[in-house]
């Protein structure tokens, strides 16, 4: 019954006359979607926008896994009455006023455009490239629906986190599959694996560090690789995030030809009373200054795009902690964002994952 050449489009009425009643739904030419995903960001810095965003984020059990009976009253009645003000002020200090959006959103848009141009050069109009957020806008559900409406019968979902964590990659994937749940004709789905040890990613990080070091009059004495933290308990319960971060630092050290005195791993952004992965960046930079290191550099390999955690926390709070303890020269090395080496690395990963779908 099916024309072998048209297998990608089995409901095509032209090749399937038995399925061609007058009210048969219109079928668009088959396409492949590549959907990039990042964490999300508030729509604005006012109290209610911040509360909406933080409420959605911190209600995700992949992020905070306490029982809802214990967590929700604390979240709704205590945390969400205060944190929207302090986080809103922090976002305000880094806000992209020109486009009236957060830096994470601006950079994700640029990454998407760079990915689109690379993939269209290779695959032409058969590929549809877009991005979505796990929390806030544009939502995963709306973007999956747009791809389906554009005729994507296959979707490659790419969480833009180099390292797997339940709180990031897994919850992004959950949201993607949730968005497919109500589809009568569900697209074929693939998700991209974490890329913490991808050679081109390590190379892009190394190049960005070499460039930053070359621009300094005096070479930093040590590079601090500061990764977003998670509660230590998540590691004991089986989350491999910590090990993947350690491996990125080791590969970076090997690629740069350095030794253990020149590069260390730390964790930032502790939230709540539990112990998180250690050493904490904010304390470690102060210890370094107290031990006599006057000139340090900090990079953030777990973030594919600069965001509040890098622009505000590292480049303001953590810098201050270093300087208050006697440090003199603090260099923040920006995330890879939409730089060419990074986008080549990410597009290489996408191309490998599209094999068999688009060749």
Ligand X SMILES: C=CC1=C(C)c2cc3[nH]c(cc4nc(cc5[nH]c(cc1n2)c(C)c5CCC(=O)O)C(CCC(=O)O)=C4C)c(C)c3C=C
In the annotated binding site for Fe(2+), the residues are 228, 309
- The site partner of 158 among ligand X, Fe ion, none (C-beta below 5 to 8 Å per kind) is none
Verify binding: residue 224, ligand X, rule CB under 6 A. no
Nearer to ligand X, 213 or 271 (CB): 271
Q: Which of 32, 34, 35, 64 binds ligand X (CB under 6 A)?
A: 64
Asked if 118 interacts with Fe ion (CB under 5 A), we say no
SS (H, E, C) the chain: CCCHHHCCCCCCCCCCHHHCCCCCCCCCCCEEEEEEEEEEECCCCCHHHHHHHHHHHHCCCCCCCCCHHHHHHHHHHHHHHHHHHHHHHHHHHHCECCCCECHHHHHHHHHHHHHHHHHHHHHHHHEEEEEEEEEECCEHHHHHHHHHHCCEEEEEEEECCCCCCHHHHHHHHHHHHHHHCCCCCCCEEEECCCCCCCHHHHHHHHHHHHHHHHHCCCCCCEEEEEEECCEHHHHHCCCCHHHHHHHHHHHHHHHHCCCCCCEEEEEECCCCCCCECCCEHHHHHHHHHHCCCCEEEEECCCCCCCCHHHHHHHHHHHHHHHHHCCCCEEEECCCCCCCHHHHHHHHHHHHHHCCCCCC
Binding mask 250-279 for ligand X (x = CB under 6 A): -------------------x-x--------
Which span sits near Fe ion by CB under 5 A: 28-36, 78-86, 113-121, 237-245? Answer: 237-245
Binding residues: 228, 309
Does position 308 interact with ligand X (CB under 6 A)? The reply is yes
- Out of 51, 62, 154, 242, point to the residue binding Fe ion (CB under 5 A): 242
Check residue 165 for interaction with ligand X (CB under 6 A): yes
Return the range that interacts with ligand X (CB under 6 A); candidates 11-19, 24-32, 58-66, 138-146: 58-66
Smallest gap from residue 13 Cβ to ligand X (A): 45
Residues in the site for Fe ion, rule: CB under 5 A?
242-243
């Amino acid at each position: 019954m099916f024309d072998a050449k048209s297998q990608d489009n089995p409901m095509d009425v032209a090749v399937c006359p038995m399925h061609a009643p007058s009210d048969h739904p219109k079928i668009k030419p088959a396409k492949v979607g590549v959907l990039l995903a990042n964490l999300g960001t508030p729509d604005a810095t006012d109290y209610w926008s911040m509360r909406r965003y933080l409420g959605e984020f911190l209600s995700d059990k992949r992020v905070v896994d306490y029982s809802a009976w214990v967590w929700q009253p604390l979240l709704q009645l205590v945390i969400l009455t205060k944190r929207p003000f302090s986080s809103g002020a922090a976002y305000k200090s880094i806000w992209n006023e020109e486009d009236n959006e957060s830096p994470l959103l601006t950079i994700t848009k640029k990454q998407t455009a760079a990915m689109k141009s690379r993939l269209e050069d290779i695959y032409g109009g058969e590929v549809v490239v877009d991005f979505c957020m796990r929390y806030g806008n544009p939502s995963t559900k709306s973007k999956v629906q747009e791809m389906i409406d554009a005729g994507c019968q296959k979707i490659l979902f790419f969480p833009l986190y180099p390292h797997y964590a339940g709180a990031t990659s897994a919850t992004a994937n959950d949201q993607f599959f949730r968005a497919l749940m109500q589809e009568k004709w569900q697209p074929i789905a693939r998700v991209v694996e974490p890329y913490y040890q991808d050679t081109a990613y390590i190379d892009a990080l190394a190049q960005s560090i070499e460039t930053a070091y070359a621009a300094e009059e005096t070479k930093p004495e040590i590079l601090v690789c500061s990764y977003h933290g998670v509660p230590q308990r998540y590691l004991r319960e089986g989350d491999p995030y910590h090990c993947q971060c350690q491996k990125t630092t080791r590969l970076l050290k090997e690629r740069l030809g350095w030794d253990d005195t020149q590069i260390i791993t730390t964790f930032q952004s502790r939230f709540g009373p539990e112990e998180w992965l250690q050493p904490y960046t904010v304390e470690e930079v102060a210890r370094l200054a107290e031990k006599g290191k006057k000139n340090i550099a900090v990079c953030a390999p777990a973030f594919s795009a600069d965001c509040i955690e890098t622009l505000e926390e590292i480049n303001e709070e953590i810098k201050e902690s270093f300087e208050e303890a006697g440090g003199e020269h603090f260099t923040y090395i920006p995330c890879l964002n939409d730089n060419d080496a990074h986008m080549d690395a990410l597009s290489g990963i996408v191309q490998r994952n599209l094999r068999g779908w688009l060749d």
